[in-house]
Amino acid sequence: MSLIIAGRFQTFPAAEAAAQRLFARGFVEEDVTLFFVNPSGQHARYPIGGDVGTDPGAQAAPKGAGRGVTIGAVIGAVVGAAVFALFKAPLLVSAIAAGVGAYIGSLAGAMSHTRASKPHSATSHANQENARHAGVLVAVHVSPETQTDAATILREAGGMEIERASGRWKQGRWSDFDPLQPPHPVGEYVERRA
């Protein structure tokens, strides 16, 4: 594994200027790369898009749908039986009422359980705090002796979220970069997030 120092910039010109500063201070071209990191949720990890297979807010929906089917079917059967008894309607009406009640109940149950996941819960808030922000990332392949210089140059060039990582550096780029992994800030360059 290689030691990597990286910093996020708002624009490509700013990132390119930082790369030029690195070159002027002795870093070589095959040890510096820059690339754009998409906003969270837009990394197309799945064929239909997105970063995760299941939305965390929808994980309890199947349980809610199961409960809703049961409750809805019972209510629908009761309504159907009442219609059958009061209006002498055919027995088929009771069966249809039970089916419609089960369908509506499953929908209501699933929806009630998706709302149960609050966006401001502690876990969600922690994930938002640690999420990698979009922007142009300048990554530098460094040695233990040059990592402080690289971090300082990136910070002085206007880099945000200066981070230290361990990864694979192949053919002049960070080959195993994972945009879903939160950055690990370099201690002296930790920024407070609002």
For residue 154, tell me if it sits in a domain.
yes
Average pLDDT per run of 10 along the chain, which is 194 residues long?
A: 95 96 96 89 59 68 84 85 81 83 86 62 47 90 95 95 94 90 78 47
| pLDDT value for 193 | 45
Q: What's the pLDDT score for residue 67?
A: 85
Domain span holding position 10: 2-52+133-189
- Please spell the DSSP secondary structure of 46-115, one letter per residue: STTS-S-SS-GGGTTHHHHHHHHHHHHHHHHHHHHHHHHHHH---HHHHHHHHHHHHHHHHHHHHHHHHH
User: Is 111 found in the same domain as 64?
Assistant: yes
For the chain, the domain total comes to: 2
What one-letter code names the amino acid at 189? Y
The answer to the question of residue 121 being in a domain is: no
Query: What's the pLDDT at 150?
Result: 96
Under 8 Å CB-to-CB from 153, ≥6 apart: which residues?
18, 21, 22, 25
